[in-house]
Amino acid sequence: MQQPNDDRFRHRDLNWLSFNERVLQEATDKINPLYERIKFLAIFSSNLDEYFRVRVSQLRQMKRVKKSIRKKLALRPSRITKQIIEKVKDQQDRFGDIYHKEIIPELAANGIHILDANHFKSEHKEFLSSFFNTKIEKHLKPIRLNLKKENELFLENSVLYFLITFKNEDNIAVVNIPVEDCGRFVHLNKDDNNHEITYLDEIIRHEAYKIFPEDDINGIYEIKLSRDAELYIDDIYEGVLAEKIYSSLEQRTDGQPTRLLYDANMPKEVQKKIRKLLKLGKIDMMPGGQYHNFKDFFSFPDPTHNKKLHFKELPALPHKVLDKSTNYFKDIAKKDQSLHFPFMSFSYVEKFVKMAAEDDQVTEISISLYRVADESDLTNSLMKALENGKRVTVFVEAKARFDEENNISWGRKFEEKGANVIYSYPKVKVHSKIMLITRQEGDKKMRYAYIGTGNFNSETSEIYCDHAIFTANSNITKELERLFKVLEGELIIPREKNLLISPFSTRQEFIKLIYNEIENARAGKKARITAKMNSLEDHEMIELLYKASDAGVEVRMLIRGFTCLIPGVKGLSENIYITSVVDRYLEHGRIYLFENDGNELMYYGSADWMNRNLDRRIEVISPVLDEDVKKEFKDILEIQLSDNVKARIQDPEETNQYVERKKGEKKIRSQYEIYEYLKEKHTS
């Protein structure tokens, strides 16, 4: 968390808002069908919730660190928080404009009308009353408060509530809106040509007099409180300084409030009352629209079933080798096989694990699970492998944010079946996406590896753009075997020569690769760095990229999320050009390509250039050694670099301008072009 006025680096939390701005842009981009634009509003809202729970929470915690420590670390949490609030307010205003001025009218034009309580019709009244009495009322937990007495009010994280005021100003009430039990949206009629939908909120608002029959209701205002997720401290605060920070926060209570989102129509005197009740500061109060939790729009119904309102289906493409293969081991032994999600199905991975579980020659399966899906073919096959007497080692990341409970639950299930289950170490996360299968073939022990950029999760594989390779290359599989021995505690270091493994060698090897390009540029040789990642934060890597730019190395980057590097600044980064693609799928892959004077070196894997990925997590970055696969990866990378439909330029001013398409130039929407490229390659 560098100083906000450091003109060599952007502040990560402020630049993250530029990423969410790109998501908001997608909600207003008419290239996207209506219901997909609604989903982008939901994504924006969901992103912002997590941001306040984690990043803004950390800033708030830093404000409580002793001033002497803050000064030493150049922390300015109050200043940054104010800048964040300012930007978020502006984005939320535009969010409201998009929803009210674009989405609502377009829904109406398609025969879908969202009604509020003021526009319910007489024919709705009986249905509304019955729905409230039979479906909603039993889930309500009204809390009535007398402001003349001492009160304690606890609001759950991200749960919607109504704050209700009465004519008797000494009393207020809080009522939950039971979305989990009743759903957020209610279809009011069955007319094929004209559909009326309302929020659950509006039915409760309409029937609120039943909750407090003896009171005169004065006002009803929706509120939502965000609480922090956990104590997160940036990885750059190492050793003694980190311990000082932790000790200075020892009195912190879990789940402290980070933001109260409230209806902007709430009178100021009512705002003061709720602030006092929840013990919030002014900076914690965030005015919003009439409704909150727009992430619920992921489930907004389409009663018309109009395909034009949604993205065109892109069926998963068959893999030209694996689709027909009856023995993956034989085909992988011949040559490396690559997969690209979501253009190809995750079922190839599941099928490989199933084959291994049922194969008499397979003796061991080792896998690292960062985000475990609910019951899936993969987890079922791992269970089957245990039943069939295989040695199964599962490394479960117990600290995968918001997935802790599910991951630990699966760990216990594997343990009960006899698996060797290892949980994460203190202060180290295992973020690598790796699997190793050992097979006894005659008198020879063969190893088969899977290394990917995305999680072993069939659900996320349908929306995340990721890459993976199956390989039997002994240079890779031997080193992966050593890494699993490190995870099991049998070795201290993996002694790798081909793989880049964090925290052991990744930073050092990337530094060597960048310096090699710098030296080549200075010697007049071919020099270029092309890198695709989710986020760029590490200052040492950024300083090296500035050095490379100064030496004349052309640096071309694709960064989907935030970046602390400031590109295109004369005398600093004029040879660095960055674009970002936000589209139908979430770009999640990491690919690194170094010119190396014409003898290109390519790597891919799980690590971004962030402090945590280089120094505080077990990550695996693998060289792409198979020439066919290397060409496929490079072709895909070049398509992404050529995007002129969904690519935004990350410039010094953070304008998020779309890449301008030149006159006569072909439209390249990279995710669709990649689909067509893979379709031609694997089905022709």
pLDDT tens figures, 470-522: 999 999 999 999 999 999 889 999 999 999 999 999 999 999 999 999 999 99
56 exposure class (CB count in 10 Å sphere: 0-12, 13-18, 19+): buried
Task: Tell me the sheet residues that pair with 287.
Answer: 262
User: Annotation-wise, does 495 bind a ligand?
Assistant: no
The amino acid at 171: N
- The model's pTM: 0.90
The token pair that represents 382 in the structure block? 């791992």
User: Annotation-wise, does 176 bind a ligand?
Assistant: no
In the chain, CATH 3.30.1840.10 sits at 12-302
Q: What is the pLDDT of residue 422?
A: 85
User: Annotation-wise, does 560 bind a ligand?
Assistant: yes
Beta strand 195-199 with 112-115 is parallel
**Which residues have CB under 8 Å from 622's CB, separation 6+?**
451, 469, 476, 498, 499, 500, 603, 604, 605
The token pair that represents 620 in the structure block? 């695996």
- Which 3 state secondary structure label does DSSP give 50? helix
Nearest-CA neighbor of 526 among 600, 445, 630, 622? Answer: 600
**Strands (DSSP E) along 419-553, which ranges?**
420-423, 429-430, 433-441, 444-452, 464-471, 500-502, 528-533
The Cα–Cα gap between 657 and 648 comes to 5
Report the C-alpha dihedral over residues 347, 352, 357, 360, rounded to 10 degrees. 150
The token pair that represents 383 in the structure block? 């269970």
The Cα–Cα gap between 577 and 530 comes to 10
User: Annotation-wise, does 464 bind a ligand?
Assistant: yes
Instruction: Assess if CATH 3.30.1840.10 describes domain 12-302.
Output: yes
Low-confidence ranges of the chain (pLDDT < 50): 1-5, 65, 69-70, 72-74, 231-254, 400
- Which 3 state secondary structure label does DSSP give 320? coil
Contact criterion met (CB below 8 Å) for 430 and 370? yes
CATH superfamily of 328-497: Endonuclease Chain A (3.30.870.10)
Q: What is the pLDDT of residue 79?
A: 79
Contact criterion met (CB below 8 Å) for 562 and 19? yes
User: Annotation-wise, does 371 bind a ligand?
Assistant: yes
The Cα–Cα gap between 575 and 550 comes to 8
Question: Exposure pattern of 486-496 as b/e (b: 16+ CB <10 Å)?
Answer: bbeeeeeebeb
Q: What is the pLDDT of residue 157?
A: 87
Q: How far is CA 674 from the centre of its chain?
A: 22
| Inter-axis angle of helices 34-51 and 77-98, nearest 10 | 160
Other C-beta atoms closer than 10 Å to the C-beta of 220 total 19
Side-chain-side CA neighbours of residue 216 (13 Å): 5
502-683: CATH topology:
Endonuclease; Chain A (3.30.870)
642 exposure class (CB count in 10 Å sphere: 0-12, 13-18, 19+): middle
- Which 3 state secondary structure label does DSSP give 481? helix
Q: What are the residue numbers of the active site?
A: 431
Greatest distance between any 2 Cα atoms in the chain: 87
In the chain, CATH 3.30.870.10 sits at 328-497, 502-683
Task: Tell me the sheet residues that pair with 428.
Answer: 425
Q: What is the pLDDT of residue 327?
A: 96
User: Annotation-wise, does 79 bind a ligand?
Assistant: no
Contact criterion met (CB below 8 Å) for 217 and 165? yes
